[in-house]
Structure 1
Amino acid sequence: MGFFSVVGFIYGRKIKRNFRGETGTIKWFDPSKGYGFLIRDKGGDLFVHLRSVQSQDRRKLKENTRVRFSVENTEKGPQAENIRII
């Protein structure tokens, strides 16, 4: 597992934190629909929503792209968050 940075704001101050993330490969992604799936290096697929992709990477996301991400458990099951191209 590696680290990646996420910038946030606390009390109006910009902060930068490092989070452990997983890695994987985009299985498919349809920007017109705003979603797709990735294959985790640990095994299994995860849902990817456009809003979970770092803004600078949204236009570059395509099949077989290597990414780093965190996993969030939602009502519909686990899904990838904070997705960045590596």
Structure 2
Amino acid sequence: MTLKLGLPKGSLQDATIELFRRAGFQITVGARSYFPSIDDPEIECMLIRAQEMARYVEDGVLDAGLTGYDWVREQDAQVVTVADLIYS
């Protein structure tokens, strides 16, 4: 089974990739691709606007995603917060 993970594109993209690098993962983003590669065969990444992340998770398109709590509230998405990550 593969984990479908949403990564925020835009202003948090580089900081998120660095967060994963510090955790031991290598994420490579190709030019004009919404599907970065990661060095874990059990994870599939997808770049999504942070504003839309909660909706993709709620709808089951993604299993998990990194976004701000403000976007979850604004979308009124029925998702579970797993952890508060402080980075940028």
Q: Would you say same fold, with TM above 0.5? A: no
Name the larger-Rg structure: 1
Q: TM-score, normalized by length of structure 2?
A: 0.27
| Greater fraction of residues in strand | 1
Give the number of the structure with larger relative contact order, counting CA–CA contacts within 8 Å between residues 6 or more apart. Answer: 2
